Structure 1
């Protein structure tokens, strides 16, 4: 079989190699061989665990992360424990279904991680802010609309914002032309702020998220696309910002299997008609190009590699 390998020295150095396909003799009790058809790419592929079945993720669960420290899935075949499987919605293609374990679960936990099982946040009186038009944000938009939530999207591209409106976004903000987008969010919410923020920007956006979250609201910290360190002149005290509006800042590392199944039952039934947004599908031998495309930020939704 073929598989892509890395020395953890950057995706530009990944290489395609030949390897022996797993056989029945390689299996332990409770394991199955999977022929992989499609793989969706993520900025942080290690967030998809196999042992995180329920409750809060633990440090021990991170030992089963795909991509690091365990091998990833850009390969023809992989062995997995049989406890890690979830049935894909029948109305989705393989490419669409491949986006669910990371992007959709992350979005679901960002919205509903503090909600009791089976009682997701609902209602147009609840407002969600989604940063950017990548996989998590676009999946979050679709899930939010399925739950009848009001949505606000930020992006630097008017074309992407137009597409987000077509997917149901209630309000859009171009943060290039409206650098004080936090003030615009407050204006759109009549000064109240938003209930939940899917914070993907990191150091350059978090301080503005604190300014426009509703009192008692939730900031779900997902990524750091703008960097890990803030500008020196903008140093601020997180505890003061959190106390100012009684805010909860929660880091999101994907989610457990039982919340995955909850999400599928509530948001991805045939009656909802949700189909994940797949921007582009690359062939297996184009994996490096696919990663470069993802890094460029030109995508809208998910980037997928077709393996088989």
Structure 2
């Protein structure tokens, strides 16, 4: 199995949360008449994120802002939920009272926030979800669309990039998030399936971390029990970067792959010592698609329920150009 590095995945590998086949983000276009009508109405859209501190979030916000601006709409506020279901629930209840025209949100969990999002939809506020759909929420009834990267494909890419660095009969560990989160679960499942199919010689283990900043602790505890590790996949870049010092302290550091190409991950990938590959999302493009979906829904037009942006395979050889791509072309001068 081979793949062109730095190019979008050739096809969508994963299905949506209700088994939907994906529509590519390039097909979610705002007709000129829709943009004109939207400009006359001046829509306001609130953005509700798990965190605002990551490079992924900043690029996502930039894409949303750019997409809304095309239709004369604006972001009314940005809420950082700090990975807290309680904070997100409280923010949703406040937004119901504030009544923006639409909300673009990444749910920070599953059932813990599902009822709050149902209340938002019942209040007549159009909802576009990013990456994660809490259980029980249905398209058209509860949300207009879910916009995501192809997380299943990202897991496959991460496995393929790690495989050449793992000896025959070696050991690989998957470090996954404890929270019920569709996107990271898809990556984990896809990584496992690829490895079991393409590298059945590998012994595959798993560990969980409770918060991104605590991933290093979880990895250190695992390595204390199982020091002979060839490779590790950590399901996104923030916990991967948090675990890098632990991996670097190993006498023979295991090879690492992850998802997302933030600045710290890009710098580590450029060193080509521990981090050997990144399956990169395109958050700016995802933000553009989410903005378009919100405006189309507010205009009363049909919106695909599952919109997917392809991932990129990134190594040390193409990290600079890929870093620019995932930032919407605005990040090239900021890398290393």
TM-score range, shorter chain: 0.3 to 0.5
Asked which structure has the greater RCO (Cα within 8 Å, sep 6+), the reply is 2
Of Structure 1 and Structure 2, the greater helix share is in: 2
What TM-score does the superposition give when structure 1 sets the normalisation length? 0.34
